[in-house]
Chains A and B, each alone.
Chain A
Amino acid sequence: MPVHDQMEFFIDPSRCIGCQACVQACGECDTHKGVPMIHLEYVDRGHSTQTVPVVCMHCDSPTCAEVCPADAIKKTADGVVQTARKPRCVACNNCVLACPFGVPKMMTDFELMMKCDMCYDRTSAGKKPMCATVCPSGALFFGTRERIETMRPRGTPVNQFQFGTQTITTKVSMMVPKYAARIEHIDVAAAMNEGSGGKSISLNILTAVYNAKDEA
């Protein structure tokens, strides 16, 4: 059964709290039991608690599939880019290196690439993917577009991403602020010059406190 076309995946890393519930739950899914497929990265733990969960974005034109020499990665009619077909994948790593989002995982032991398949055993049976079911912060959400729009009045979903001169359109959407000028795409490569985000401890006060104590 295909994934219901009304049900969509929306991610909002700005909500992520880095708890790894998604990672732990991902390994409970029957299409890849025991092997979590989702990535959860600290952007720069030294300077921020910012984390980012990365699931497969299911590109309209998946780079991973096209660079696969073995023709092992297929997109089903419902737009889900499936994990590598086991008989074909020769573990060449092309997909891992080519995916602009950094999604596929090389399982060296299995000589097999594995990647997030939106918990196909669940989503094709009308359930939500594990990660989006358990996510305690709403950073991962699976549901109708109508629902996300009523629940998240501040944001709007975007599914175009810019990498240098390449635009990639995806099945999975990412939440961006609605009140800003309309955002057409997320320029990922432009974040090269960004520092990790979030609050900082205002150092002028604290350094003063710190030094004063030191003198005493």
Chain B
Amino acid sequence: MAIEPVPELQIIDRFGPHRLYSKGARLESGSEPDRLVQTHCCFCGMQCGIQLKVKGNEVIGFEPWEEFPFNKGMLCPKGVKRYLQGSHPDRLLTAYQRDPDSPNGFRTLPYDQAIKRVAAEIDRIQKAHGPDSFAVLGGASLTTEKAYLLGKFARVCLRTSNIDYNGRLCMVSAAAANKKAFGVDRAANPWDDILKAKVIWISGSNVAECFPILTDYIWQARENGARVIVVDPRITPIARTCDLFLPVKPGRDIALFNGILNLMIENNWLDHDFIQQHTVGFEQTAEHVREWTPRKTAEVTGIAERSIRQAAEWWGTASSSFLMHARGIEHHTHGVQNCLGAINIVLASGRIGREGCGYGTITGQGNGQGGREHGQKCDQLPGARDIENPSHRAHMAQFWGITPEELPRAGVDAYEMFRRIGRGEIKGMLSICFNPMVSLPDTTFVKWMLERLEFFVVIDFFMSETSRHADIVLPGSLHEEDEGTVTSAEGRVIKINKAIDCPGDARQDWRIIQDIAKALGRERGFTFGSPNEIFQELRGASAGGIADYSGITYEKIEQNMGVFWPCPSEDHPGTPRLFEKGSWNPIAKGAGPYYFPDGRARFNVAPYSPPAEDVDVDFPVILTTGRVVSQFLSGNQTRRIGPLVDQTPEPVIEIHPLLAEKHGIEDGDWVRIESRRSVCTLQARIVTTIRPDTVFVPYHWAGRKSINQVTIAAQDPISKIPEYKVCAVRLIRQYDPPDYLKELEPQQ
């Protein structure tokens, strides 16, 4: 019965999101903290070091941690104000049960009863409809320990193949492309290599807002003589003063990369030795890109031919370089192809695997990297093993003490799970660290599907928009209430430290999962006493795998301020830079630095195809979506932090004056954005910093303010990432503000 029990406004009234500001000890300038806890930010993939000021059982503020090498004390506004997520009036302190008779839709119930009810429902559904009828959704903000445990829980305890996670919306295109090209999914270089690069290529990443600390690396590289090339449909803050700006038409990145490779070949800006010794497949790729003449590339991408030639020349003739990309090229139905195109120009230049020569995707979530390596991804087992590979299956089955036959096969991606609900194949679901009601495309569909579930349980610390649909909500733990490891976007395994205890009836998430296993009567393998015990098992599980953590310990992480995987033994220092000449890996076994039996990287033909939904007469405008600096993902945390809400209270639609004029829209007007799915009405901000054929809306808001009502659920055939970055819309100026303006606070 996963239908919202009472109207939305009543749930919001009790559970928020409400805004919290500093008060009491947090505002008093005489408060002495009891202690400073060195940990990391709970938000993006940069994982900046931060010290939390703790007084009693409350985080009262922060102090920069200048010794941590990645960020040296730097923080973005989210990191600065993250301490306000604790001691929040919206914090869930007990378990809740759906109750349409309660004025706010939920009533409290004792934790033990809630667990019993969850176990009973899982049992009932699985007995009636088979193990796969119960699904698990995870998230990439969980520590690696929790992600590992959740994967093990789904496969060993629930025996369901239906587990996937919100990393599906994040970097899976890059992951798939990296595996195709390099055989391994990790940023090839540490960020330090940016500083030594002479050309920096940034494709589809609003670095300044999504990964602010990386800005310093890029500006510092420029001080050292680097040129910066930015490819983006908007003049983002990082693009404003870059050396070359390529205003690409959304969805056309692969055309650009193919065009660049063609120019590199034409001008012989190639590293022939590297191509010959370390790669395969160059000829076919070269043949394929021949059609991508500068003119054709310019026509398709909407970038001036002159700029394309300039970019190719700078890239082609650079002595060292760093190419990075993010969701801008990954959130597409051809996201994997886009990334392969990017990798092709890196491989052709031969600038990878050495100092100052690098490539990497900028993973968006806090544990985007670690969260996908150890088993909550539908097709992956711990150690980044392949669930369909018989020897990998056998290894993990033995490790977990089950037979390979008992180990479920590959499941489907998170979005497909919702379609499976529609087909009646999934009847029950457990969700943790995922807010699909905000973050998945076409949220109307997601809502319908959730409503068809027989039983829905959510583990969360706040009543997210998704948990409003839950039958049972279990009070989980905030980042600062637990310890564990995460792996940052550069592959650095770091340690999250516990600052305070869970308040009220709230529990650390791994305890909740184990409690459910126990209530199901299958607690074998789920009796860990601490995150470190889980980590010890995880080390063993990952040993010999690609993402080998076996040589990493908590002590080693703290001593070295992080350890880069692979780290196959305790005396191994870790591997900041992959693919160095002569490096060893468990696949190539010395044949070469890349993770294929022959040790060579792969060129992949990356054919261009337009977005799933191109513009037409009815829907003539391209909609693209993204982030703003003061909010994070679905906003379940950041929309409750007052100062961050004040920085960007509500989403606005960015429109170029030419487009606005055509629609009679002026700055501040209300605009109805219509797609084939649904509509969303937002205020206009008229700016010349966006292509005139494209509009932009940030996606952190929920309900009627969610642009994901409008976006398309088309997915990449390989990575299954949804095409958030392009869909077709039309704009209609509104003369009256929408109803929500009166009914809701900005963050709600």
Q: Hey, which bits of chain A sit against chain B, CB under 8 A?
A: 14-21, 23-25, 27-28, 30-31, 33-34, 45-51, 121, 128, 130, 133-138, 151-155, 197-203, 205-207, 209-210, 213-214, 216
Cβ contact within 8 Å between B76 and A199 = no
Q: Is B66 an interface residue (CB 8 A)?
A: yes
**Nearest Cβ on chain B to A139's Cβ, whole angstroms:** 9
Interface residue B525 (Cβ < 8 Å from any Cβ of A) = no
Contact call A154/B223, Cβ cutoff below 8 A: yes
Other 17 A-B pairs with CB < 8 A, given A15-B215, A136-B76, A207-B692: A14-B241, A17-B215, A19-B209, A19-B212, A21-B74, A31-B29, A46-B667, A46-B686, A48-B235, A134-B73, A137-B215, A201-B247, A205-B298, A205-B303, A206-B691, A209-B302, A216-B617
Closest to A150 in B: B223
23 A-B pairs with CB atoms under 8 Å apart are: A14-B241, A19-B76, A19-B77, A21-B74, A21-B76, A24-B81, A28-B61, A46-B667, A46-B686, A49-B235, A50-B240, A134-B80, A136-B74, A137-B215, A138-B215, A138-B219, A155-B223, A201-B247, A203-B658, A206-B693, A209-B693, A210-B658, A213-B620
CA distance A197 to B222 in the complex (A): 18
B241 touches A199 (CB 8 A): yes
Interchain CB contact under 8 A, B241 and A198? yes
**Is A25 a contact of B235 with CB atoms below 8 Å?**
no
Q: Is the CB of B304 within 8 A of A201?
A: no
Cβ-based interface call for B689 (8 A): yes
In the bound assembly, the distance between CA atoms of A205 and B308 in angstroms comes to: 13
Q: Is the CB of A49 within 8 A of B237?
A: yes
Q: For the complex, what is the distance from the CA of A210 to the CA of B247, rounded to whole Å?
A: 14
In the complex the two chains form, what is the Cα distance from A155 to B224 in whole Å?
A: 11
Answer yes or no: B22 CB below 8 A from chain A CBs.
yes
Q: Which of A34, A48, A136, A210 contacts B75 (CB 8 A)?
A: A136
Residues in B with CB closer than 8 Å to A34 are 22, 27
Cα(A151)–Cα(B224), bound, Å: 8
Which of A121, A133, A136, A198 is the most central at the interface, judged by chain B CB atoms within 10 Å of its CB?
A: A136
Chain B, 576-634, CB within 8 A of any chain A CB: 615, 617, 620, 629-630
Task: Select the residue from A19, A27, A151, A152 with max chain B CB neighbours within 10 A.
Answer: A19
CB pair B689–A47 under 8 Å, yes or no, is yes
Interface-centre pick from B61, B209, B223, B630 (highest chain A CB count, 10 A) = B223
- Taken together as a complex, chains A and B put the C-alpha atoms of A15 and B688 apart, in Å, by 20
- Is the CB–CB distance between A51 and B223 below 8 Å? no
Would you call A45 and B685 a contact (CB within 8 A)?
yes
Interface membership of B208, Cβ < 8 A: yes
Query: Complex Cα distance A15/B219, Å?
Result: 7
B76, A49: Cβ atoms under 8 Å? no
A49, B216: Cβ atoms under 8 Å? no
The answer to whether B209 and A28 touch across the interface, beta carbons within 8 angstroms, is no
Interface residues of B in 196-244 (CB under 8 A from A): 208-209, 212-213, 215-216, 219-220, 222-224, 235-242
CB distance from B615 to the nearest CB of A (A): 7
| A11 → B minimal CB distance (Å) | 14
Closest Cβ–Cβ distance, residue A184 to chain B (whole Å):
23
Q: Which 3 A-B pairs have the closest CB atoms?
A: A17-B208, A198-B240, A136-B212
Contact across chains for B687 and A21 when beta carbons are under 8 A apart: no
On whether the beta carbons of B74 and A135 are closer than 8 Å, the reply is: yes
Contacts of A207 in B (CB 8 A): 658, 692
> With a CB–CB cut-off of 8 A, which chain A residues contact B77?
19-21, 23-25
By a CB distance below 8 angstroms, the chain B residues around A18 are: 208, 237, 629
Beyond A24-B80, A205-B302, whether A153 also contacts B208 by CB under 8 A is no
Contact, CB under 8 Å: A28 / B28? no
Report the separation of the CA atoms of residues A197 and B688 in the bound assembly, to the nearest whole angstrom: 12
Taking the nearest CB of chain A, how far is it from the CB of B316, in angstroms? 22
Nearest chain B CB to A97 CB, angstrom units: 26
Bound complex: CA A136 to CA B29 (Å): 25
A-B contact count (CB 8 A): 170
The answer to the question of B647 belonging to the interface, with a C-beta cut-off of 8 Å to chain A, is: yes
Name the residue among A17, A28, A133 with the largest chain B CB count within 10 angstroms. A17
Tell me, yes or no, whether B33 is within 8 Å of chain A by CB. no
B167 on the interface (CB 8 Å rule)? no
Residues of the B chain whose Cβ atoms lie less than 8 Å from the Cβ of A210: 658-659, 692-693
Q: Which of A16, A51, A153, A213 has the most CB of B within 10 A?
A: A213
Q: Quick one: which of B209, B644, B687 contacts A47, CB cutoff 8 A? A: B687
Q: Which residues of A contact B236 (CB under 8 A)?
A: 49
| Chain A contacts for B75, CB-based, 8 A | 21, 25, 134, 136
Q: Which of B49-94 contact A (CB under 8 A)?
A: 61-62, 64, 66, 71, 73-77, 79-81
Cβ contact within 8 Å between A48 and B620: no
Closest to B61 in A: A28
Task: Tell me, in angstroms, the Cα distance from A115 to B619 when the chains sit together.
Answer: 51
Of all chain A residues, which has the CB nearest B216? A138
Note all chain B residues with C-beta closer than 8 A to A136: 71, 74-76, 212-213, 215-216
Give the residues in chain A near B239, CB-CB below 8 Å.
49, 198-199
Is B526 positioned at the interface, with any CB of A under 8 Å from its CB?
A: no
A152 and chain B: residue at smallest CB distance = B223
- Indicate whether B245 reaches chain A with its CB closer than 8 angstroms: yes
B647/A20 in contact, CB under 8 A:
yes
For A205, what are the chain B residues with a Cβ–Cβ distance below 8 Å?
298, 302-304
Residues in chain B near residue A27, CB distance under 8 A: 22, 643
Q: A24-B80, A136-B75 are in contact. Are A201 and B208 (CB under 8 A)?
A: no
- The answer to whether B688 and A201 touch across the interface, beta carbons within 8 angstroms, is yes
Shortest Cβ distance from residue A33 to the other chain B in the assembled complex, whole angstroms: 4
- Complex-state Cα separation, A18 to B239, whole angstroms: 13
**Bound complex: CA of A211 vs CA of B647, how far in Å?**
36
Residues from chain A with Cβ under 8 Å of B215 in the complex: 15, 17, 136-138
Identify the interface centre among B617, B643, B688, B691: most chain A CB within 10 Å of its CB: B688
Given A14-B241, A19-B629, A24-B81, are A46 and B688 neighbors across the interface (CB < 8 Å)? yes
B641 to chain A, nearest CB (A): 10
Contact B245 A199 (CB under 8 A): yes
B residues in contact with A199, CB < 8 Å = 235, 239-242, 245
**Minimum CB–CB distance for A78 against chain B, Å:** 21
**Any chain A CB within 8 A of the CB of B249?**
yes
Are B629 and A214 in touch, CB under 8 angstroms? Answer: no
- Cβ–Cβ contact B28 & A33, under 8 A: yes
Chain B contacts with A in 625-653, Cβ cutoff 8 A: 629-630, 643-644, 647
Q: Mark B654-669, 1 if CB is under 8 A from A, else 0.
A: 0011110000000100
Chain A positions within 8 Å of B22 at CB level: 27, 33-34
Bound-state CA distance A50–B80 (Å) is 22
Q: How far is the CA of A8 from the CA of B348 in the complex (A)?
A: 45
How close is A55's CB to chain B, nearest CB, in angstroms?
16
Q: Which residues does chain B contribute within 8 Å of A14, judged by CB atoms?
A: 241
**A178 smallest CB distance to B (angstroms):** 11
Contact assessment for B247 and A202 in the assembled complex, using a CB-CB cutoff below 8 Å: yes
Q: Which residues of B contact A48 (CB under 8 A)?
A: 235, 240, 688-689
B29 x A33 contact (CB < 8 A)? yes
Query: Which residue of chain B has its CB nearest to the CB of A30?
Result: B29
Which A residues are CB-close (under 8 A) to B61? Answer: 28
Q: Report chain A residues within 8 Å CB of B28.
A: 33
A155 partner residues in chain B, CB cutoff 8 A: 223
Q: What is the minimal beta-carbon distance from B502 to any residue of chain A, in angstroms?
A: 25
Complex Cα distance, B617 from A202, in Å, reads 25
Q: Which residue of A lies closest to B641 (CB)?
A: A24
- Give the residues in chain B near A24, CB-CB below 8 Å: 77, 80-81, 643-644, 647
Of chain B, the residue at the smallest CB distance from A28 is: B61
Q: Which of the residues B27, B629, B643 comes within 8 Å of A33, measured between beta carbons?
A: B27
- A177–chain B nearest beta-carbon distance, Å: 12
Q: Mark B3-41, 1 if CB is under 8 A from A, else 0.
A: 000000000000000000010000111000000000000
CA distance A51 to B208 in the complex (A): 12
Closest Cβ of chain A: how far from B232's Cβ, in Å? 10
In the complex, which of the residues A16, A45, A133, A213 contacts B693, with contact meaning CB atoms closer than 8 Å? A213
- Knowing A14-B241, A25-B75, A154-B223, the reply to whether A137 touches B235 (Cβ < 8 A) is no
Check A25–B80 contact: CB distance below 8 A.
Answer: yes
By the criterion CB–CB under 8 Å, are A20 and B629 in contact?
yes
